[in-house]
Amino acid sequence: MPVSETDLSNAAVPAPPVSRLSTIRARSLTSRLVATFSGPAGVALKFVFLGLFNALVVWAAAVLVSQHKWVAVIVTIAAALAIDAIYLARRKVPLKFLVPGTIFLIAFSVIPIIYTINVAFTNYSTGHILSKSEAIEQVKINALAPPPNGKTYNLSPALDKDGNLVLLLADADTGKTFVGTREGLTPLPRSSVKVSDGAITGASGYKLITGARLFSLDQELEHFRVPTPGGSAIHPEGIDNAVQLAPTLRYDPKTDTFTRIRDGLVYRDNGKGSFIATANGKKEELEPGWKTYVGFLNFSKIIHDPLIRNPFLRVLLWTIVFAFLTVLLSFALGLFLAITLQKKFRLQRVYRAVLILPYAIPAFLTILIWGGLMNPHDAILNHISLPFTHLHLNIPWLYDPWWARVSIIIVSIWLTFPYFFLVSLGALQSIPGELVEAARVDGAGAWQVFRKITLPLLLVAVAPLMIASFAFNFNNFNIIYLLTQGGPAAGDQSIAGTTDILISYTFKLAFQSGKGGDYALAGAVTILIFFIVATISGVAFWRTKALETLR
């Protein structure tokens, strides 16, 4: 029977599947958003963001100009103009997407690397942070000391009409009154001040500081100096007294030297960021020094200074052993468990989930728990009875050098083996079963199949991951810092403990060495760590190229 056009138009059309409908709706939503932000609304938003960006650039350029950072000013302005040109152009669409990623790459990767390299070639450390001009002024301040028969003043901290801190001073001997600022000392007429018990209790045009605010001025008063003629100064001693200080050193800008006034000893620039003098066969150094470039001095210390070289070599050896054993033993354990749990059996998924738990729990929390189990005072592990005996362990887990190293390796394996378990489990499933069956038909035993087929094919996929894991454990700061803090202490009077690895040793150099921290030496060690890891990884990748022939 013929079908009319009306029947065809009224025929029921099957509805598309739900998944296809959701895909169509998602595409239509995306299309609508793209269309919306490609029109006038998108152009308006683009100009708003570019306006905010350029305002930020203007502010940054103004700050850099005030600090005379002319190279940075030029780079900032040039980069801003380039970004404006890219986003205002009708074409150059790929660049518009590449620019944000490039900016973040430079900000968070390139700049820190360049800064670290730059610091490694300086003497940047505690006592050598300021510029030379700032250091000279600080030395002058530090050289001020109370002279014989120096003047003393009754002090009243106050605020001037602009809200700046000033010192209202009354001479303890003559009763004369003054106002002291960071610029100098100015007499105050007695008619404009009120004095009680030798101290100023009121002054015209000034507001005395009282109450809780008065007792919070300790830090500010400690660094407050009122310069007076002859290079001397008035310095607060507490909140109610001040003393006159006279210089013990004299600076000569022509010769760039400091001379000690009492005996004429001359301190000269040693070219390494300090003023040095030799007296009675001993070198005397003025503090603070200043930051300056010293070339390869920090690298030379690592090679030639036994106080740095010996701990560095000891820490380097332990770092390599720690990373190697962690990767090797974790891989072996993970592979063994993967092979064991590869075939299906009852509660297989439960066992797999339990083995993955150490990997799922945050590492820092796991390390702290292990630290509690192994703590020197009440190690819970030592109170677990051995099987079939009533004996208890008596192991100094964290305070004996060798047991502390064993403890770190145990905890590190606990944290790492689930990763290799998952990787090995996936890699084993990709090995063709025909190869294994053919080997068994040819009479190969289980060990021969594993050694000749399973392991080589497994390493094709796992070897690069093992190299990456080695690099990670080479710089595994968390486990050292949270479990042993690098201890126990070594017997070579070094800040490097017996369990410190290079990264934790670098941390101690940066923040706990010398007078407080040696950031430049830490930067030099960081560069060496990079080259060591890069060399080991490069050699390992080169050696594993032979595995590619197995594919």
Return the beta strands (E) in 215-337 as ranges: 226-227, 233-236, 241-247, 249-252, 257-260, 266-269, 275-279, 282-285
In a domain, 256, yes or no: no
Domain that holds residue 192: 144-247
**Residue 370 and residue 498 in one domain:** yes
* The predicted structure's pLDDT at residue 392: 65
Reference 476, options 389, 414, 393; nearest CA is 414
In a domain, 207, yes or no: yes
In a domain, 270, yes or no: no
Among 231, 247, 263, identify where a domain stops.
Answer: 247
**Residue 158 and residue 99 in one domain:** no
**Residue 208 and residue 155 in one domain:** yes
In a domain, 103, yes or no: yes
**Residue 163 and residue 103 in one domain:** no
Q: Structural domain tally of the chain? A: 3
Q: How far is CA 75 from CA 66, 70, 414, in A?
A: 16, 9, 49
**Residue 89 and residue 148 in one domain:** no
Among 247, 263, 280, identify where a domain stops.
Answer: 247
Q: How far is CA 480 from CA 59, 61, 428, 502, in A?
A: 43, 43, 33, 10
Give the dihedral sign, CA 267/297/518/311: negative
**Residue 508 and residue 406 in one domain:** yes
**CATH code of 105's domain:** 1.20.58.370
197: left (phi over 0), alpha (psi -120 to 50) or beta: left
* The predicted structure's pLDDT at residue 17: 54
Identify residue 358 by its one-letter amino acid code.
P
In a domain, 288, yes or no: no
The C-alpha atoms of residue 118 and residue 106 are separated, in whole angstroms, by 16
* The predicted structure's pLDDT at residue 548: 58
pTM: predicted TM-score of the whole model, two decimal places = 0.79
Phi first, then psi, for residue 180 (nearest 5°) are -110, 130
Give the dihedral sign, CA 490/494/500/501: negative
Element (DSSP H or E) covering residue 536: helix 519-543
Reference 323, options 198, 467, 157; nearest CA is 467
**Residue 482 and residue 365 in one domain:** yes
**Residue 399 and residue 475 in one domain:** yes
In a domain, 291, yes or no: no
**CATH code of 309's domain:** 1.10.3720.10
* The predicted structure's pLDDT at residue 375: 79
What share of residues in the chain are helix, strand, coil (percent, to 5)? 60, 15, 30
**Residue 160 and residue 116 in one domain:** no
In a domain, 66, yes or no: yes
**Residue 241 and residue 364 in one domain:** no
* The predicted structure's pLDDT at residue 9: 47
**Residue 115 and residue 169 in one domain:** no
Across the chain, which has 551 residues, the per-10-residue mean pLDDT values are 49 51 54 63 82 93 90 91 87 81 89 94 93 92 85 91 91 90 90 88 90 84 86 88 91 94 92 90 90 94 91 94 96 92 81 83 90 76 62 78 93 93 88 82 82 86 90 93 90 86 92 83 94 89 66 51
**Residue 363 and residue 487 in one domain:** yes
Residue 482 · residue 371 · CB < 8 Å: yes
Q: 257-260 and 266-269: which strand pairing?
A: antiparallel
In a domain, 276, yes or no: no
